[in-house]
Chains A and B, each alone.
Chain A
Amino acid sequence: MSEASDFLNVTAADRGADSEVWENAHETDELVCRGGAVERRVSTAATATALTVWQDGCEGYAVHVPGGADASLVDTALAVGRALGPGTPVPARRTGQAEQPRTLADPRLDEAVAQRLAGLTAGASDVDVELRARADRSGVLLHRAGCEPLRHTTGTFQLQARITAKGRRVGFIAHQMFGRSVDAVLKDVEATELDDLTALARVLAAEPVPRLTHDDVLLDGRVMAKLFMLAVPAFQLDSVLEGRSPLAGRTGERIGSAGLSLVDDPMAADSPLPVPWDDEGTVCAPTTLLKDGVLRGFLSSRRTAAEAGTVSTGSGRRGSSGEMPTVQPGFLALRPAAALGDAPLDGRTLLKVVQANGAHTSNVITGDFSIGANAVLVTPDGVQHNAGNITLAGNVFDLLTRIDGHDGRQRLNRGHTSFVASPGVWATGLTVGR
C-alpha cells in the first residue's frame, strides 16, 4: 500500500502542498442463517484511498475507491481546498518512531462457522431463529508526508439474532452481539444468549397483561445503549464548538448520578474493534468523560482540539467510505456504580424494557426522546408477563441523573467504527404509556 501513498505525497509536494494519505483495505464476510440452513453468503473486498492536502492555509480532502497511485486525486483535493478557502492550520507532524504494524483482530466466517451458525437456527417449532453474522477486517495505513507510515490490521465480529416466537400472538426480539473473536461470541450465544432470547420472545408472544402497573423500571442494556446514543454528540468537541452541546461550559459540574462513569477506550479489553490510533494517527488511550457523575471533558479530533487549544483525544474517525474524519467515540462505556441485578426488589413489581423501536429518530440536540418499546412485567414472585407495546418518554440528560444502578449485563450499539456500551439501568422519571 505504501507505493501509492508515496506517490500521492510526492505528487502533492510537487504541487507545493503538504499531505497525508489514508489507505484502507477492507474485507467483509456476511452470512444469514435460518431454519438450519445458510441462506445468504456475501463477501466484499474493497480498497479506498483518502487524501488530505494543505496549501496556502487551505485544507482539501478527496477520496477514491478503489484508490491507488492516481495524481488526479491530488488535483481534486487541492481544488476542494481552494474552494473552501483558507482558515485551517496545518497539523503538526508526528514525532518519534512509528510502532511496528500490529494485527489486533482477524475474525473470519469459514465453513465451520457457517455450519455452527446454521445449526443454532434449527430451533423449536414455535420459534423462528435468524442469525445474521458479519466479520469485518481492515488493514489501515496512515502516511503523513515526511513521517514513517503507521499501519495496523483490525476487525470485529457482529452477530444479530432475530427471534420470532408464535404463541397467542407473535413475539419478536432482536439482539446484536460484538467481539473480536468469532468463537468467543458464538460460545456466549450457545451457552446463554440464545436460550435467554428465545425465552424472552416467548414471553412477548403471550397476551399482554390487561393493566400495566409497576414500581420500578429497568432499561435493558440494548435499550439504554440506543438511548444513550442520543447524548453522545453532546460529549463531542465539535458540538461544543458549534454551540449545539447542552454540556458546553459545564466541565466540573455534576451531570450524572453519583458513581456514574463514562470512559471512551478503543483499546479496552472488551472493546470489540481495537485500534491503537485513530484515523488521524493520534494514539488511542482511555478518555474519561464522566467520573462519579461529574463532567470531566469532551472527545476531540485533531482539528477540533486545535480550534479549542487542546490536544486530540484520538477520536477522529472516518466514515465507511473514507469520508473526512469527524469526532466519534471508539468504545464508549457507561458504567453506573451500584449493582442491583435484574430481579425485582422485595415485594415490588419491575417493568423491564427489553426492546426499543425508533430510538434513532429522537432529538440528538435536546436529548428528548419518545420511543416505542416492548417490555415485560416481573411480579414479586419472579414470573415474567408480557407488558405489551408501550411508549417511553423522557430526556436522556435527565436520565443520566436518575440512574440508581445497573443489572451487570453490558450491551453494545454500533455506528460504523464507533461502539457505545451500557449495562441495563434502573432509572426513574420516565413516562410510560400504553
Chain B
Amino acid sequence: MYATEPLRAVAGDLVSEIRRHRPPDCTGTSGAVQSWHRTSGRFAEGRVSDISVQRGEGTSARYVLRDGFRHRSVSGLDPYAAVLDGEGGRAPAGARRGTAAGGGSGPEWMEISSVLSVLGELEKSARDFDPAVAQVVIDFELSEQDMVLAQDDRIREEHRLLSYLTVRVIARRGGRMSTGFYTPGISGSLDGIDAAGAGAEVARRAVIGLDARPAPMGHLPVVVAGGRGMVLLHEACCHPLEGDEVLRGSVYAGRLGETIASPLVTITDDPTVPGAVGSFGHDDEGTAGTPTTLIENGVLKGYLTDQESAARLGLPPSGNGRCTTVLHPPQPRMTNTCLAAGTSGVEDIVAGTEFGIFAQHVGGGEVIESTGEFTFRVTNGFLIENGRITDPIEETTITGTGTQVLRDIDAIADDPVVGAAKCGKFGQWVPVGVVGPTLRVRSLLVGGTGR
C-alpha cells in the first residue's frame, strides 16, 4: 500500500489528542486512521455502465461512556477528529479539509484493464452456458485499505483486501423470464475468484428457473444448502446476539448458559477463516480478531460485542466492532458465521424428507431482533417429494422465529462450504462470510403463491 508512514504519524497524534480530550466519565477509547482505494461499478452488456475509482482517507475517535458513546470522524488525516465540538479552542475537525495521504495510483491488482478482462470472462462463460441467457449484469467492488487502530494507548495495524461481485443473469425462453443470482467474494485480489466458474454457475441458476413452478405456501420442512444458505443463521440467530441488540433486550438477552438450540448446533463467529470476506486481523477498534463461540451443542455461550456494548454488558470485547469506513461509528457486527459440520450425508437428509423445500441458493434476509422474526430469500429452490429432489420452484421467502428455528434444526450434513454476503445495519454495509454445511429445519413458513 502507499501511505503507511503518514497513517502511523497521524495515529500517534490522534492518541495524544484522545488522551487530552477524554471526557471525565469515559471508560475506554478507540481511534482509527484509514486510507483506502476502492473501485466499484457495474458491468453490463459487455461494457462498464458506471465506474468509480476512489481514493480516500479518514480519521475517527470514539469515547465510550458508562451509558453510551460519542464518536467523531472526519475525512482526511486529521488528529483533531478527537476534539469534540466546542472544545480545544479551534474549529472542529472537518471544518477544513484534512490532509491527504498523497499518492494517486491504486494497487496493481485493481488496474482497470485487468478487472475488465476478468468481468468479460465471467460474462462470456455465462453466455456460453446456454442460449437462453439474455443478459449478464455484474456489480463489482474491489478495495484495498490500510488502517492504524488505537485502543486506548495500544496501536495496531491492519491491511485488508476485498473482491466482491454481485452477479445477476437473466434467462429468457418463450414468454418466460428467470433470474440467477450469485455473490462470489474473497478477502483477496480479484484473481482469487474463479470467474469462468462463477459465470457458468449463475447462468445455470437462471436457466433452471425457467422451468420453475410456483413455490408452495405453508409450514414445511426446509433443507438449506451450505455456504450462502447460512444467511438463515445469520438472520435467525446471530443478529439478536449482537451486543447493542442484547442491550436493547433481544430475544437472547440474559440467557447465557441456557439451551436455546438443538444439541446438533454449534455456531462460532470466526474472523480468521482464510479468504472469507469477513476475515481480519483486528476489528475496527483494534481488538484482535479471534473466534467467538456463540452456541455450543445448543447452549448459548457468547455475544458479539464491540468495545461499548462489551463494557455495558460487563464482558470483554469479542472483536466485532466493525464499520463501513472510519467515517461511520463501529457497531457490533458479525464477521464469518460458521456452523460446525455434522455427520449426516446430504442424500440421507433429503431421503428422510417426505415433502418439503430444498433451498439450494439463498439471497438476503432480515430479522427483528426483539421478536426473533426473520425472513430469508430462496433464489433457487426445489421441491422435495417422497425423499427426492424434484421440480424447481420460483423464488420465495421463508420466514419463522429464530428461537424456534434453532430448536427445529434436526439434521446437519458434513459438507461445509464458504459463502459471501453483505450485511446492512443502520445504513452501514459490511462484507460477511457465511460458512457451513447443509442443514434441515423441521418446519418453516414458506411464502409461495402455490398450494
Residues of chain A touching chain B, judged by Cβ–Cβ distance below 8 Å, are: 27, 32, 34, 37-48, 50, 61-68, 70, 72-73, 75-77, 79-80, 83-84, 87, 128, 130, 132, 164, 169-172, 174, 238, 242-244, 319, 321-326, 357-358, 360-363, 365-366, 368-372, 374, 389, 391-394, 431, 433-434
A72 to B168, CA, bound (A): 34
B366 partner, pick from A172, A368, A372, A389, beta carbons under 8 A: A372
**B377 & A45 in contact (Cβ 8 Å cutoff):** no
**A243 & B52 in contact (Cβ 8 Å cutoff):** no
**B447 & A392 in contact (Cβ 8 Å cutoff):** yes
B243 an interface residue at 8 Å Cβ cutoff? no
Closest Cβ of chain B to A406, distance in Å, is: 25
**A83 & B55 in contact (Cβ 8 Å cutoff):** no
**A371 & B74 in contact (Cβ 8 Å cutoff):** no
Q: From known contacts A45-B95, A75-B104, A319-B52, infer whether A371 and B397 are also in contact, taking CB-CB under 8 Å.
A: yes
A358 to B236, CA, bound (A): 12
Q: From known contacts A38-B68, A73-B104, A391-B445, infer whether A321 and B397 are also in contact, taking CB-CB under 8 Å.
A: no
B25 an interface residue at 8 Å Cβ cutoff? no
**A66 & B135 in contact (Cβ 8 Å cutoff):** no
A433 partner, pick from B71, B93, B112, B445, beta carbons under 8 A: B445
Closest Cβ of chain B to A69, distance in Å, is: 10
**B70 & A357 in contact (Cβ 8 Å cutoff):** no
**B44 & A361 in contact (Cβ 8 Å cutoff):** no
B301 an interface residue at 8 Å Cβ cutoff? no
Using C-beta atoms within 8 Å of the partner chain, give the interface range for chain B.
35 or more
Tally A-B pairs: CB < 8 A.
253
**B217 & A431 in contact (Cβ 8 Å cutoff):** yes
B140 an interface residue at 8 Å Cβ cutoff? no
Q: From known contacts A65-B56, A372-B375, A431-B449, infer whether A48 and B75 are also in contact, taking CB-CB under 8 Å.
A: yes
**B104 & A70 in contact (Cβ 8 Å cutoff):** yes
Closest Cβ of chain B to A131, distance in Å, is: 12
- Could you jot down 13 A-B contacts, CB within 8 Å? A39-B67, A40-B70, A47-B97, A48-B56, A66-B76, A72-B104, A72-B105, A73-B104, A358-B365, A358-B397, A366-B177, A391-B399, A431-B449
Interface of A is mostly: strand
Among B39-77, those with CB < 8 Å from A are 40-42, 44-45, 47-58, 67-76
A-chain residues with CB within 8 Å of residue B71 when the two chains form the complex? 40-43
A-chain residues with CB within 8 Å of residue B395 when the two chains form the complex? 362-363, 368, 370
Q: From known contacts A84-B112, A244-B170, A393-B217, infer whether A370 and B396 are also in contact, taking CB-CB under 8 Å.
A: yes
A160 to B365, CA, bound (A): 20
A-chain residues with CB within 8 Å of residue B399 when the two chains form the complex? 357-358, 372, 389, 391
Residues of chain B touching chain A, judged by Cβ–Cβ distance below 8 Å, are: 38, 40-42, 44-45, 47-58, 67-76, 85, 92-95, 97-98, 100, 103-106, 111-113, 116, 134-135, 137, 168, 170, 177-179, 215, 217-218, 248-249, 251, 327-329, 363-368, 370-371, 373-377, 394-397, 399, 401, 426, 445-449
Interface of B is mostly: strand
Q: Closest B-chain residue to A174, C-beta based?
A: B368
B-chain residues with CB within 8 Å of residue A431 when the two chains form the complex? 217, 447-449
A-chain residues with CB within 8 Å of residue B447 when the two chains form the complex? 370-372, 391-393, 431, 433
**A66 & B45 in contact (Cβ 8 Å cutoff):** no
Closest Cβ of chain B to A12, distance in Å, is: 14
**A164 & B248 in contact (Cβ 8 Å cutoff):** yes
Please give 14 more A-B residue pairs, beta carbons under 8 A apart, in addition to A61-B51, A324-B41.
A44-B328, A45-B95, A65-B56, A66-B57, A66-B76, A68-B97, A72-B105, A361-B397, A362-B397, A374-B373, A391-B397, A393-B397, A394-B449, A431-B448
A369 to B74, CA, bound (A): 40
**A40 & B69 in contact (Cβ 8 Å cutoff):** yes
